[in-house]
Each structure stands twice: as structure tokens, then as C-alpha cells.
Amino acid sequence: MLVQNTGLLESGDAIRGTVVRMKVPLVCLVTYRGYAGLAAAGSGTGPAAQERNDLVRSDIDSAAILTEPTLQAWRIPYRLLHDDADRTLVREAFALADRRQQPVAVLLAGPTTP
Amino acid sequence: MTAVEALGPLARARGDAVVVTTMSAVRPWAELSDHPLDFASADSAMGHAADLALGIALARPRRRVFCVNGDGSMLMTLGTLVTIAAAGASNLLLVVLQNGVYEVTGNQPVPGAGQVDYPAMARAAGFPTARSFADAASYAEALPAVLAAPGPTCISLSVAHGGEQPLSRGAGERAAYLRPSLAESARALRRALAGR
């Protein structure tokens, strides 16, 4: 599945109810919108960003803040792919999804070659 | 029309079609059918039975797929009408049981109950065949011709609501296809489709 992180958030109940419950070995390649701007804005994806309520800051993409915590809450394993050198993560994600019969996400956090 | 009057003609016409049911249609369908190609979209994604049926229809284009949906479920995923038509799933029959309520959660009214014209929406989305029926006899008589018309096909049936309880899965369920887990049911359906 190729999806932007906003679409991933939108598909939560379908992933919970169908993909996980059916034990579908689905690999989600997720484009990580907003990731690049988090560090520059002094924010992140951890609890501190939640405590500061960075979700309401107009200079930060809140989709980026919530992507990883949401995957953690859904108990979906994920890896960050920063550039082409990390492309072996995709093959590893397929192997993990097959082995565990569950969804696995690869977050495309940096520039990659199509 | 009652649920049995709505589902009976479908059960008689299904042949070797896959039948995906959801919500208040799940248990009544099991009273009429016990077939390896029956699949309950239960303990699954709310409102997505038609999406699941579309996936099966696209994966098995030579096999007919019936989806018995409800008006509440259809309303949650209206965009699926466009997806079905755009995908050209000519082997898919989408049945919308319009009972006007979210029956399994306690008969709360569905927005627009009695006013929304689902077949008109389906036609606007690109379905070549879309019909409404309020009378059981005329529906039963027309169904063979509707099934012979070009698909994807949508039919809306005005049915009286009952008192179906929330869906669950497990050994205590009277509907046989609700006894296995969702994962086991999906595996069984794949086996049946593969002829194993």
C-alpha cells in the first residue's frame, strides 16, 4: 500500500478491523509529510511535543507529529527510510510482515529515487 | 418488505457467487444460506463491506460477487460507489437494504432515512444498472432481469427494521459463518475460491 501519512491516519479503523484482524501481511509505504520540518521548528514526535501542544502550531505539520505515536498505538512496527541507502528496509519489512502475518510500515522520511 | 423477503430471492439466485453480508443482514442471511462462499463482514471495518466485496470482485473477475449492505453502512462510504464504477467491476451486485436505522446498535435513525435515493447516487457515480424496490413481489419478479443487465449493479430494497443485536464472532453464534475468527473466515474464503 502506498499512502501519505494523512491517508494512513484516515484509514485507522479499516487497518484495525480488517488488516490486523484478518492477519494480512501488508507493507505500508508511507510518505512522511511534515517530517523534514519538525526538527527545524524545534518539535518532534515524542511526548514533549504533545505536552507543549505543538499540534496547534501553524508552523508545524501536525500529521508528522502524530504519525509515529499513532503507529505505536496501533502496534504496527515501522522503520524510517531516510534515503536510497536504506532501501533494504523495504525488503525487511516484507519479510517481517510475512513472518508475523501483520501490517508493517516503512516511513519515507527523506528524498528517494522513484 | 421483510429481511427474508429481501434476502430470499438473492439466496435462490446466487449460484456460485461470493456473498458478502454486513450488520443486520449477517444473521438473517445465515438462516437462508450455509455456503463456503458466504462471508460476513463482521468484527471488521465499519462501513467497508462494499469495499471488501469490490476487492474480491476485482480479484475474481469471472465470478459474481453480491454485497448485502445497509443504508447506514453505505452512507459511511459513499465514495465507494464511485470507486466501484470507476473500477468497472461488472461482476458486482451491491444491495442496499434501506431499513432507515442503525439496527444492530439500537435502531438509531440513519440520516436522510426515507429521503436518500441510493440507486440515483449509484447511477450518478457510473453504475449502468440501478433499481429500487419497495414491494417484495415485484422485486422477486424483476431480480433475474436485473442480474442479467450490465453491471456493476445497485439495487435498493425498502425493508422493515427488526431487532438484530450487535454482531460478534465465536462458538456461541447461531450463524455458522460467525463462529470462526475473521482471519479464519478469510482463509476459508480464499480456500473456497481456489477450489481447495
Domains annotated for chain B, with CATH where assigned, are 3-193 (3.40.50.970)
Q: Say whether B182 and A16 touch across the interface (CB within 8 A).
A: no
The span from the CA of B20 to the CA of B97, in Å, is 13
B43 inside 8 A of chain A by CB: yes
Q: Say whether B43 and A17 touch across the interface (CB within 8 A).
A: yes
pLDDT at A112: 77
Nearest residue on chain A to B189, judged by CA atoms?
A22
Residues of B in contact with A24 (CB under 8 A): 186
* pLDDT, average across residues B141-151: 98
Q: B117 pLDDT band (50/70/90 cuts)?
A: very high
Average pLDDT of chain B is 96
Domain ranges across chain A: 2-108
Alpha-carbon distances of B180 from B48, B55, B148, B196, rounded to whole Å: 20, 21, 34, 18
Q: Are A88 and A30 in contact (CB under 8 A)?
A: no
Q: Tens digit of pLDDT for each residue in A32-84? A: 999 999 888 888 888 887 778 888 888 999 999 999 999 999 999 999 999 99
pTM of the model: 0.91
Name the nearest CA neighbour of B185 among B28, B56, B8. B56
- Rounded to a whole number, what is the distance in Å from the CA of A51 to chain B's nearest CA? 32
The number of beta carbons lying within 10 Å of the beta carbon of residue A26 is: 20
pLDDT at B168: 92
Question: DSSP string spanning B24-91?
Answer: GGHHHHHHH---TTEEEE-SS-TT-HHHHHHHHHHH-TTS-EEEEEEHHHHHHTTHHHHHHHHHT-TT
Q: Say whether A18 and B44 touch across the interface (CB within 8 A).
A: yes
The two beta strands, B65-70 and B38-41, are: unpaired
pLDDT at A46: 82
Q: Nearest-5° angle of CA B60, CA B62, CA B66? A: 70
Interface of A with B in 10-39 (CB under 8 A): 13-14, 16-18, 21-24
Q: Is B132 helix (H, G, I), strand (E, B) or coil?
A: strand
Residues of A in contact with B51 (CB under 8 A): 14
Question: Could you give the ipTM of this predicted complex?
Answer: 0.79
Give the CA-trace dihedral at B61, B62, B64, B67, to 10 degrees. Answer: -20
* pLDDT, average across residues B31-54: 95
